[in-house]
Amino acid sequence: MSNRRHFLERAIAAALAAAILLAPSPALAEKADKEKPTNIEANRMNSDDARRITIFEGNVILTKGTILVRADRILVRQDAEGFQLTTATGAPARFRQKREASDEWIEGEALRIELDDKNEKIELHQRARILRDQDEVRGELISFDTRSEFFSVTGAKGPGAGTSPDARVRAVIQPKAQDPATVKSAPAAPAAKR
């Protein structure tokens, strides 16, 4: 019975992995967001202009177009070209972003969230979770590239990580309603003879 259970667990894991790969990517972010200004509110701010680093602390709220990040602390680094690398930390830090050409939103949380404007990537580190519509993915690292619309999820690494249930990637994928326009109707039943 143990071999059969192990086989079923592996089959379910493979089916879930295939479903994740075939499901629409949550990285279809609003393209106009990258052209919007970054607005930040916080209780405190410290800035080091020489190093181009600004730290915001205390109930921090960052908005940039449809992007919303809430965190305990946000560190913003700016390079010579004006691109920003933003690191948000909290217990957890949270973000939300609208998907391109849809009313759907992507929501996520982690202990650390990194937004890289230059490479158009978002990474969620430690106890990471992404929610899109009713689908959910959890792992230790969730990384997605908004240009290529590719995302990946990694479980915890290191000694003993594989034995912990929290160290594994978890996904919940809800069945999707079919679009009536794409469903072919069944042929009509022949009329009954009288």
pLDDT digits (tens, 9 = 90+) for 100-110: 767 788 899 99
Q: What percent of the chain has pLDDT over 90?
A: 42
Distances (CA, A) of 135 to 33, 35, 76, 105, 108: 23, 29, 30, 11, 12
Q: What is the CA radius of gyration of the chain?
A: 22
pLDDT at 29: 53
| Contact yes or no for 122/144 (Cβ under 8 A) | yes
pTM score:
0.71
Longest Cα–Cα distance in the chain: 92
Q: Where are the domains of the chain?
A: 26-172
Name the 3-class secondary structure at 86. Answer: strand
Q: Does the pLDDT at position 59 exceed 80?
A: yes
Q: Chain centroid to CA 186: how far?
A: 39
Q: Which of 89, 90, 92, 42 is CA-nearest to residue 63?
A: 42
Which residue carries 């957890």 as its tokens? 92
At 151-185, the pLDDT tens digits run 899 998 766 555 566 678 988 988 877 766 655 55
What's the CATH fold of domain 26-172?
lipopolysaccharide transport protein A fold (2.60.450)
Report the chain's mean pLDDT, rounded to a whole number: 78
